[in-house]
Amino acid sequence: MKPTLLLIAAFVSCCVQAQEKEFDKMDFMEGDWQFNASSMNPDGTYTTDQTFFTKCTLLFNETSHKDDFFYKDQNGNMICYGTTIRTYNEGEKQWEMLWLGNNFSVTTQMVGEYRDGNFYFDGKGKDQRGEYLEKITFYDISDREYKWKMDRSYDGGKTWLKNFFSYTATKL
C-alpha cells in the first residue's frame, strides 16, 4: 500500500474508533426503562410519583439511539408520548438530540457534551406555552439506573424553571 493511502486508512480508522468510543458512552441507555418522575405544573407546584417507560434501541446502522417514551392510560394501555433521537456528531465534536412529542406538539433540538461522567445538553424548542430554552443533564449513571433533570426558560434565559421535569430511571 502506498504511504499516502496507508496514512489515510490509519486516519479513517482512528476517526471511526474515536466516534465509536464517544458514541459508546451512551450505550447504557439501550433497553427498557421505567421512570419515576416529577414535573412542574403551570402554577409552580410539582406533580410527583409519575411513572413513564422508555424503550431505547439503535437506529440508522447503529449510529443513533432512539427512545420511545410511554405512559399508561386509565385502562393500562401503553400510549406513546414522544420519541428522542440522539447521536454523536464527530465532525462537530458534540452530541445532538431531537425530541419529538406526539403529533409534533412539542419539539426540542439540543447539542451536548459528555464530561465528568455526565451528559449535558442545551437546546431550544417550542410547546403550547411558546418558545423555550432547555438544559438537560444525565447524571449518577450506571448500567441499571441513572438520573435525569431538565431546566427550562420561557424568557430567553433570564429566569429558569429548575427541575421542570426530572426522573430516576431504572432498567427493567
Q: What digits encode the pLDDT tens for the residues 4-27?
A: 333 333 333 333 444 458 999 999
Q: Are 84 and 96 in contact (CB under 8 A)?
A: no
Per the prediction, the chain carries an average pLDDT of 87
Number of domains in the chain: 1
pLDDT attached to residue 102? 83
Over residues 41-68, the mean pLDDT reads 91
Q: Are 87 and 95 in contact (CB under 8 A)?
A: yes
Write the pLDDT tens digit of every residue in 55-104.
999 999 899 999 999 998 889 899 888 999 999 999 999 999 999 988 77
Residue 129, SS3? Answer: coil
Over residues 40-53, the mean pLDDT reads 90
Q: Distance (Å, rounded) from C-alpha 71 to C-alpha 81?
A: 7
Write the pLDDT tens digit of every residue in 113-152.
999 999 999 999 998 889 999 999 999 999 999 999 999 9
Q: Distance (Å, rounded) from C-alpha 23 to C-alpha 61?
A: 13
Which CATH number do you get for residue 113? 2.40.128.20
The domain of 164 spans 3-171
C-alpha cell, 37: 418522575
Closest CA to 137 of 119, 114, 113, 162: 119
